[in-house]
Structure 1
């Protein structure tokens, strides 16, 4: 059985068709207890094998997806493609980089660091897989967008990677970047508890410019699945324990109401809340690609097939009514003191 829903990318990757749902790999390695290779490998294979002929699975990785902010995620991929080289051409690899570590990765779009980052990514992949798309994880306010995209465009000409993406950028930055070099995909957070005014602006602008939107954390970092009932459900060392929506007891309890309301709609449709959320995000545009993360086969397949769960107008209206009438408490990351360079 293969998925039916697919999407095309934008910019210089306009000719590439991928599954409507991408596969985020971050938590395979950015965790106190990295998932064993074979479990990760089976999860990746399951998603790729569900693609129709000629359709690639979009894999999303990062240069710093590890507890020590090292290249463990990319090294995992290198081991995967060494063992299963035939899967290299069946996947489209997007990698975030362009940061330096100061206790936590922070943007650094200096020419030297951008080259260091791209070089480190390719070195970690060890030639097992082409770096299809590179994107800076955040916009560095110390440099103009035109400067950054101009440098990356030069790297494309050098053959270091093929396509350019942007991440957590504003509508204005997206327009500026696309004017320098066609942007193939923009990665922003989109979920029923993360639809801010700028989210809607970026979605609209990307559609206008023909740019794909890779919507990360469509399940609210797992909160919207209904599987997290209390703070203690999060393992020790889990980064979510530091996020305001999870760590603040008042916010946590308040936001559970959103989960309950979405679960009611999912139950009426006889699907899981996860499938409902992913299908909803996929409905926001032909080039909107939900990016849930998964380390296990069962979850990967549920996520991958979720785009095929068609929602009726009445169901979509009901979800929007919940979103528009419900105030989510807490910001998307660690609080105002750590803005995480959002909407750069």
Structure 2
């Protein structure tokens, strides 16, 4: 059985068909205890094998997805494609970069953008082309037009095929797209992350024909109901630093949101995770949910979740929960994300 819910990317990649659920690879390597290769490989293969003929699985990686902000995630992918070269053409690889070497600080200088793209390609060792590159964060030291212009030149050189944007506002997305067609924009979207700016980006992307890759659709695992106390997060887990997890008051308050979503899921006969992914995927024809998994069984559950169609009543019920519930804590470390260097 293959997934039924597919879409296309936008911009210069509007001819590329992908599943409505992508596969985030971050926590395969950005963790105190990296996952064994074979476990990761089986998880990746499970999602790709669920795609219909001619439809690619979007894989999402990063130049800095490692405890030392190195290229471990890309090196993992290189080993995967070396072992399973037939999967290279069945996947669409999106990679975030644009940070200083080995540091989570954005640097959109021409020299560093070239360094970043070159480092990504070097880590992949020719096993897979860089289908899409996106700066993980907007560098306020340079205009969006400057950054996208530099990347457009790297496309012409053949160092990457398509350009994406990440964690940007609607105005920045519009400016970037005016310089070079943007294939996809990556933002956080879930039932506990639908801020006004999120809605603006979703609307602008739809208007411009740009795909939205919606990361953390499960609220970084919180909305699954499997995290019931702070101690459920392993030592060294980055979520221990996020306000919604580390603040005891916020944690307990937000569990009510989990309970309300679980009630809707149980009534429909699906898991909370399936409900959240189906909800995110339903937000637009080109909205692609991006959960992460290192487990083949979980990957399949995630991948098929977009095939769970919500009725108007179910969708309304979820929106009623979102609109009537005030989530406590911001998405990251307790400061305005526009003034911080946030990665993930």
Q: How high is the TM-score relative to the length of structure 1?
A: 0.98
Instruction: Give the aligned partner of residue 10 of structure 2.
Output: 10
User: What is the aligned partner in structure 2 of residue 304 from structure 1?
Assistant: 303
Match of 2:57?
57
In the alignment, structure 2 segments of 5+ residues that lack a partner are none
CA distance in 1, matches of 2:133, 2:276: 27
Question: How far did residue 49 of structure 1 move?
Answer: 0.1
1:49-86 Cα offsets, whole Å, 9 max, x none, are 00000000000000000000000000000000000000
Aligned to 1:158: 157
Correspondence for 1:27 = 27
Q: In structure 2, how many angstroms separate the alpha carbons of the residues matched to 1:213 and 1:117? A: 23
C-alpha contact (below 8 Å) 1:169/1:188 kept by paired residues: yes
Report the Cα distance in structure 1 between the residues aligned to 2:266 and 2:229, rounded to whole angstroms. 21
Over residues 266-297 of structure 1, what are the superposed CA-to-partner deviations in whole Å (9 max), with x where a residue is unaligned? Answer: 00011000000000000000000000000010
Distance 1:252 1:107 in 2: 30
The residue aligned with 1:242 is 241
Aligned residue number for residue 209 of structure 1: 208
| Structure 1 segment 170-185 matched on structure 2, within 5 A | 170-185=169-184
Match in the other structure for 1:124? 123
Q: Which runs of 5+ in 1 are unaligned?
A: none
1:337/1:206 CA distance change after superposition, 3 Å: closer
Aligned pairs (5 A) from 1:33-44: 33-44=33-44
Instruction: State the partner residue of 1:319.
Output: 318
Does the Cα contact within 8 Å between 1:333 and 1:340 map onto a contact in 2?
no
2:167 — aligned with what?
168
Post-superposition CA distance 1:100-128 (Å, at most 9, x none): 158x5011000011000000000000000
Matched residue, 1:86: 86
> For the residues of structure 1 that align with 2:101 and 2:268, how far apart are their CA atoms?
45
> Secondary structure of the residue that 2:105 maps to in structure 1?
strand
What is the CA–CA distance in structure 2 between the aligned matches of 1:92 and 1:239, rounded to whole Å? 27
Q: How does 1:242-281 map to 2 (within 5 A)?
A: 242-281=241-280
2-side partners of 1:218 and 1:101: how far apart?
A: 29
Q: Tell me the CA shift for residue 248 of structure 1.
A: 0.2
Do the aligned residues in 2 keep the contact of 1:218 with 1:278 (CA within 8 Å)? Answer: yes
The residue matched to 2:252 in structure 1 has which SS? helix
Q: CA deviation at 1:215?
A: 0.1
Give the Cα–Cα distance (whole angstroms) in 2 for the partners of residues 76 and 185 of structure 1. Answer: 24
Q: In the TM superposition, what whole-angstrom CA distance separates every residue of 1:219-254 from its partner, at most 9, and x where no partner exists?
A: 000000000000000000000000000000000000
RMSD over aligned Cα, in angstroms? 1.0
- Aligned residue for 2:21, secondary structure, equals coil
Secondary structure of 1:182's aligned partner: coil
Residue 95 of structure 1 aligns to a residue whose secondary structure is strand
Output the CA distance in 2 between the equivalents of 1:179 and 1:58.
Answer: 25
Task: Report if aligned partners of 1:139, 1:341 keep a CA contact under 8 Å in 2.
Answer: no
Match of 2:289 in 1: 290
Report the counterpart of residue 228 of structure 1 in structure 2.
227
Query: C-alpha separation between the residues in 1 aligned to 2:255 and 2:107?
Result: 37
Task: Measure, in 2, the Cα distance between the counterparts of 1:250 and 1:340.
Answer: 24
Partner of 1:97: 97
Q: Which runs of 4+ in 1 moved over 6 A?
A: none
Determine the structure 2 residue equivalent to 1:197: 196
Secondary structure in 2 matching 1:105 = coil
Contact 2:190 2:280 in 1 (8 A): yes
For residue 334 of structure 1, what is the aligned residue in structure 2?
333
**How many corresponding residue pairs?**
341
Alpha-carbon shift at residue 341 of structure 1 (Å): 4.9
CA distance in 1, matches of 2:64, 2:262: 34
* Alpha-carbon shift at residue 340 of structure 1 (Å): 3.3
